[in-house]
Amino acid sequence: MTGSRNPEEVVPKLVSLQDDSLVLIALYDQDDILRYANKSWRAAFHLAPGEEPGWSDLMRRNYNAGLGTVLTTRNFDEWLVSTQSRRGKAPFRAFETDLVDGRWLWMTETVQQNGWMLCIANDITPLRTDDRRLRQDRDLALRASQTDELTGVANRRFIMTKLEELVDRELTPDRTTRGCVAVLDIDHFKAINDRYGHQAGDQVLRDFARNAHSFVRRLDCFGRIGGEEFMLILPETPIETGLDILGRVLEHIRMARPLPNWPELVYTCSVGITALRSGDTAQDLFARADLALYEAKLGGRNRISVI
């Protein structure tokens, strides 16, 4: 009977079969570093045996070389921020993707609570294509409904859904931290608009989103909730770790020079952060983070306040 077989015999056979399968299989860790890929995956995305790049590094390399996934964008960095705002944020996701070699894949992503992600892709090129445009239009519409048009990060609707999910998570013996939430606001943004114009203000918003997003881990969710205000959700993260991450964000923003025509322009941001407490609703958590932000503003801006 299969139940009596030694796992030490079964696991190597399973790995061997996966490696030789025509199905594309890959495993990424919580930092989006490739930890396993079978031969089919490596061939499709032009990976050498044993190579374990980060997902964003691999996508950038293939984009520059015209290999791997078809990316219809002229600005890779904007595409990357937009895609990472959705990648790995749901326990399961399925979508279609094209490869430069002409193949058409059906891709699934299964994400554990610790951030590890299993990716499986099947070649569906031979299937009927007359409905393909409809499915692609559907996927594009879904992406647009979750993305802030100006900055490319998650929009208010998407991030508020993730806030609700954070509150709804239950503690288990191996999960003793429920996470924290921060609200970030660009300091003196109206003065930037008034002095340099609204187009310059838009550039500052995009610069802030890109710089802040570079510190977002795959388990986290970052998005624009309105105007010059953004939210960062940090699941399963103690407040001390959240403060460390946000401290690095503030330091990075202080060094940013978003307007090449006005190199003298520097800007800062203020942050309010709070940890999820037992009995909190999403509105409770948001209100408390917003109050912490208010305290940071009253305290002189360019700082982090904790409640």
pLDDT 10s digits, 105-153: 999 999 998 889 999 999 998 875 666 666 666 666 767 678 898 999 9
CATH of the domain at 242: 3.30.70.270
Q: How far apart are CA 178 and CA 228, in angstroms?
A: 27
Nearest to 38 by CA among 10, 47, 117: 47
Q: How far apart are CA 219 and CA 15, in angstroms?
A: 27
Write down the pLDDT at residue 131.
64
**pLDDT value of position 128:** 59
* The two structure tokens encoding residue 259: 């307007």
90 and 125 assigned to the same domain: yes
Active site residue 228: yes
Is 151 within a domain? Answer: no
Distance of CA 110 to the CA centre of its chain: 15
Report the greatest alpha carbon distance in the chain: 77
Q: Would you say residue 93 lies in a domain?
A: yes
pLDDT of residue 301: 94
At 1 the pLDDT is: 42
Q: What is the pLDDT of residue 212?
A: 94
Does residue 175 lie in a domain region? yes
Tell me how far apart the alpha carbons of residues 104 and 128 are, in angstroms, rounded to a whole number. 11
Where residue 116 sits, what CATH number does that domain have?
3.30.450.20
180-186 vs 229-234, strand pairing mode: antiparallel
- pLDDT at position 210 is 92
Packed helices 198-213 and 189-196: angle between N→C axes, nearest 10 degrees: 140
Domain-ending residue, one of 146, 171, 192: 146
Please indicate, yes or no, if residue 181 is contained in any of the structural domains.
Answer: yes
pLDDT of the residue at 142 = 66
**Do residue 142 and residue 160 come from a single domain?**
no
> Which amino acid is residue 203, in one-letter code?
Q
Residue tagged active-site, from 78, 96, 228, 229: 228
pLDDT number for residue 132: 63
SS3 helix, strand, coil % of the chain, rounded to 5? Answer: 40, 20, 35
Mark whether 195 and 251 lie in a shared domain: yes
Same domain, 137 and 162: no
- Residue 286 shares a structural domain with residue 193: yes
- Do 122 and 264 lie in a common domain? no
* Secondary structure letter of residue 47 according to DSSP: -
Cβ atoms of 56 and 83 within 8 Å: the answer is no
CA 224 and chain centroid, separation: 13
In one-letter notation, the amino acid at residue 130 is D
243 inside domain: yes
Residue 170 lies in domain: 156-306
Burial tier of 165 (Cβ tally within 10 Å: 0-12, 13-18, 19+): middle
> Is the C-alpha dihedral spanning 5, 11, 16, 19 positive or negative?
positive
**How is residue 256 written in tokens?**
């940013």
What is the number of residues in the chain? 307
> How far are the Cα atoms of 5, 13, 20 from residue 8, in angstroms, in the given order?
9, 9, 19
Q: What is the pLDDT of residue 237?
A: 92
Question: How many structural domains compose the chain?
Answer: 2
Residues 175 and 285 placed together within one structural domain of the fold: yes
Of 112, 146, 180, the domain-final residue: 146
Domain edge (last residue) among 83, 117, 146: 146
Q: What whole-number distance in Å separates Cα of residue 182 and Cα of residue 275?
A: 9
* Residues with pLDDT less than 70, the chain: 1-7, 128-140, 142, 144, 170-177
170 shares its domain with 299: yes
**Residues 252 and 280 grouped into a single domain:** yes
- The answer to whether residue 232 is domain-embedded is yes
Burial class of residue 223, CB neighbours in 10 A (0-12, 13-18, 19+): buried
Please report, for residues 113, 156, 277, the alpha-carbon distance to residue 176 in angstroms, rounded to integers and kept in the order given: 13, 28, 12
Is there a single domain that holds both residue 127 and residue 221? no
Q: Do 58 and 74 touch, CB atoms closer than 8 A?
A: no
CB 272 within 8 A of CB 294: yes
171 with 215, same domain: the answer is yes
What is d(CA 305, CA 307) in angstroms, rounded to the nearest whole number?
7
On whether both 172 and 135 belong to a single domain, the answer is no
